[in-house]
Amino acid sequence: MHRILITGKNGQVGHELQRSLAPLGELIATDRQELDLSQSGERIEQALDRHHPDIIVNPAAYTAVDKAESDEETANAVNADAVGAIARWAARRGALLVHYSTDYVFNGDGERPWREDDATGPQSAYGRSKLAGEEAVRLAGARHLIFRTSWVFGAHGANFLKTMLKLGQERDAFKVVDDQIGAPAPAALIADITAELIREYLAKPAGFAFGTYHLAPHGETSWHGYARYLLQRAASSGLPLRINPADIQGIPSSDYPLPAKRPANSRLCCDKLEKTFNISLPEWKSGVDQVLAELLNGASGNKGIPRE
C-alpha cells in the first residue's frame, strides 16, 4: 500500500486532503508538532525518514502575508528552505511531491489571466518566499506537481468567506475592496483535483505529465462581488443578517492600506490543467454555494456559521 504523507493537516486544504486521499493509500497526516517546517532541513529530512512516504503532499505554508513583510526570514524558512529539503528528500527516494503555490508569484498587474509560463515578479515577501519554494522544488529534480491557486476558502479554518458571514450578522454596514479580481478557490476542489491526479499517477507513472499547473475555478469577481454574492445566498437560505447585501460598499485598495501589496489581478488561466488531464473545472459560485450549505447544515462535525 502506498504511504501518503500530508503536511499541515489542520489547515483548510490539509483537512480536505485527508478526505480525498484516504482511498488511495495509508495516510500519514502531520501537524506542526509532528513535522515543523520552520526547523532545519536536517530535522525535516529525519522526520521524513521516520515515515518514509511514497508521496508527499505539502499544503503547509507560512501564510501571514502582512507579517511576512517584517518577518521574511521565517517566511523563507517555511515556504522555501523547508520545501527544498522536502524536495531533495523526495528526489533521493523517488517519491512524488505535490506542492501548493500562489498567484502572488506574479506582479499582479494587467487583466489577462496568468499562464504558467508568464514571467514571475512577486511584489511581497510572501510572494518571494513562495516563488523560492517553487524554484527549490524544480532544482531538486523530484517528481513533482506544483499547483498555483488563489483566494482559498473552506468550511474549516479562518478565511474571507467565514469572516464575511460573521460581519453580515454583526454589522449593518461595512466596506470591501472592489479593485482586486480573482476566483475564490474551494479547498475541497483543490483536494479533489490533487487526488484525481495522484490516482492517475499511481495507475500510469510512466509518461505522467509532471510540472506546474494553475488550479482555480472558472469565472472572476472582486472581493466586493464575492461578499455580496455570499451574503445574498446566505440571506436567501434563511440566515438572519443585519446588513442588506446590496448595501455592502465597494472601496479601492488605496482606501484599505496594508503592509503587503495585494495583487490587483489574481486571475489564473487553467487551460493547461484542463487539457492535460481532461478535467473540467467548475464556476466559482458553485464552490461558494457548497461551503455555505455545509456551514449552514453544520456538516462534517463543523461548528457551522461563525457567531458571537
Residues involved in catalysis: 126
Residue whose grid cell is 495583487 = 263
Whether 200 contacts 277, CB under 8 Å: yes
Q: What are the φ and ψ backbone dihedral angles of 66, each rounded to 5 degrees?
A: -75, -40
